[in-house]
Copies of this chain bind each other. A is one copy, B any other.
Amino acid sequence: MAERELIEYITSLTGRGGPPWLKVGIGDDAAVVRLPAGREVVVTTDMLIEGTHFKPGTPPEAIGWKAVARCLSDVAAMAAKPLCLVAAVSFGKGAERRFCRRLSRAIWQAARDLSAPLVGGDISSGTDVLTIAVTAFGTPGPRGVVTRSGAEPGDAICVTGALGGSLCGRHLTFRPRIREALNLASRFDLHAMIDISDGLSTDLLHIAEQSKTGVVLYADRIPVHPDAGRSGSKGALRDRALHHALNDGEDYELVFCLPPEQAEEAARSGSLDTCVTIIGKITRRRTYNIVMPDGSRHKLWSGGWEHLKRLK
């Protein structure tokens, strides 16, 4: 199979035309996107690598979905609306024609289903393992973007959904919280938000550091996913599950900070398809703590995933 044949296949999926704001689509040196007048653009990029982000043998449909969904999870974390995306793919050694077509179709379809049509890309074949880089674009909702740096002392910390044990399968099938983020941002004064890709502890500490605040988490309020107890690590069941809920990566839920009375309202009403739970608060003093069910207070460590930590 030739690169050109694959590009023709992908172009054929889209057909003629395309959305009215797309002036030049797949097949030129670059895509040209016409934007609403005077708007800001949200831009984010993410690499998905065989062996790190999915196991060899994973169906291409799941791989394509995950590559697109996790990139759009970052768009959601800004409270922005997906606009479009581009994907660069290096097929690993021995990739077969049918696999190339299925993966291309999966990326195209996930992008369409999540309202961020594929407008361009790049095809290579030089890596040992399948590697996909997706770059997504979005436009801020009517109340603007929500960054990591705006949390204020006294804010409640909330989370969507339930956490932990994503590797049991959800990391391949999750739906990014795009509608939920836009819905929450339209109803509440979100001061800061992040999506949980590296683990609640790690990602929440990004908010604390960038907002120059501290945090207190209440362990017994953290919504623990049933999958979190199914992992193989040691310790009592509840502690083990809590550990996973705190530190597993790839939940792709949202953590956000807002005034406490608004947080109560958000927790009561939920947000579209998911529940919202208050799990802690932002403090002026820049310490990071977690209060355990027995009332004891411990330092909250960044225990989630970090790349490069094994490098010299």
A interface residues with partner B (beta carbon < 8 Å): 1-4, 6, 23-24, 27-35, 37-47, 49-53, 74-75, 77-78, 80, 84, 86-91, 95-97, 100, 119-129, 131, 133, 135-138, 140, 145, 147-149, 193-195, 210, 306-312
Q: Given A52-B124, A311-B1, does the pair A133, B47 have CB atoms closer than 8 Å?
A: yes
A29 touches B3 (CB 8 A): no
Query: With A32-B41, A52-B126, A53-B126 known to touch, is A147 a contact of B78 (CB < 8 Å)?
Result: no
- Knowing A32-B145, A126-B129, A129-B126, the reply to whether A47 touches B90 (Cβ < 8 A) is yes
Decide: A91 near B35, CB < 8 A? Known: A30-B80, A127-B127. Answer: no
Q: Is A147 a contact partner of B308 (Cβ separation < 8 A)?
A: no
Complex: A35 Cα to B23 Cα, angstroms: 17
**Residues of the B chain whose Cβ atoms lie less than 8 Å from the Cβ of A138:** 30
Determine if A140 and B32 form an interchain contact, defined as CB atoms under 8 angstroms apart.
Answer: yes
For the complex formed by this chain, how many copies does it contain in all?
2
Point out the residues of chain B lying under 8 angstroms from A38, CB to CB: 35, 37-38
In angstroms, Cα B3 to Cα A42, docked, is 23
Interface contact A2-B306, CB-CB below 8 Å: yes
| Complex CA distance for A40 and B27, rounded to whole angstroms | 18
Minimum CB distance partner of A308 in chain B = B3
Contact yes or no, B49 A127, CB < 8 A: yes
Complex Cα distance A4/B203, Å? 12
Instruction: Kindly list the 8 A-B residue pairs having the minimum CB-CB distance in the complex, ordered from nearest.
Output: A52-B126, A133-B133, A49-B126, A30-B44, A135-B135, A29-B77, A37-B38, A47-B88
A94 to B43, CA, bound (A): 30
The answer to whether B78 and A2 touch across the interface, beta carbons within 8 angstroms, is: no
- Given the known inter-chain contacts A41-B41, A49-B124, please indicate yes or no for A29 contacting B90, CB distance below 8 A: no
- Interface residue from B3, B45, B75 paired with A120 (Cβ < 8 Å): B45
Tell me, rounded to whole Å, the shortest Cβ–Cβ distance linking A13 to chain B: 18
In the assembled complex, the Cα of A127 lies from the Cα of B128 at a distance in Å of: 7
By a CB distance below 8 angstroms, the chain B residues around A90 are 47, 49, 131
